[in-house]
Amino acid sequence: MIGGSHSSLLAPVAVLLLAGAAAGQSSEYERAQIVAERKPVMGDLQDNYWVLFNVNKGDSEDFAAAAAAAREMSALMTRFVSLLEPGTSRGEAPGSRAKPEVWSEPETFASAVETFQEATAAMAAAAATGDRETYMGEFESFTGACTACHGLRPSSGGMFRFAKGE
């Protein structure tokens, strides 16, 4: 495992999954607020992805910025997962695009989060080398970790997110 123990990577997911009993305790307003907090975090994840993408396609040579962006994405994902409280899926919380599978398929979701965290660590390490071939070799796997939950476009859906308008 890259960057720590299995339990440290999945601690936010474990908290999420164990909080199921509290789902009925939040008001609709509180659930909407949680969803509202998720949106800028996902936007920040996307902004950091573009830093990585631009280096990958050769529009940037700033490998240091790419390494920092990958590390930031790991921290952002930890924050995002902490905001996936039970009762905040689409239909339960206004504005949510989270699918019920986040909670009904917890092992699959936890695995996707772990894969993402490992991929961000690998991207940061590849970027730190400053070697384009090494970097490009990791980028495809990294993008695959993103698309395990949803497509790359902000409006896309996937395993754990409804598409906009769906």
CA proximity to 23, closest of 93, 98, 81, 78: 93
Q: What percent of the chain has pLDDT over 90?
A: 78
Task: Give me the domains of the chain, ranges plus CATH numbers.
Answer: 26-147 (1.20.120.10)
Predicted local distance difference test score (pLDDT) of residue 116: 96
* Predicted confidence (pLDDT) per residue in 99-128, tens digit: 999 999 999 999 999 999 999 999 999 999
Q: Which of 157, 161, 150, 163 is nearest to 49 (CA)?
A: 150
Q: How many helices and strands, by DSSP H and E, does the chain display?
A: 6, 0
More confident residue, 122 or 24: 122
42 — pLDDT class (breaks 50, 70, 90): very high
Mean pLDDT of 152-164: 91
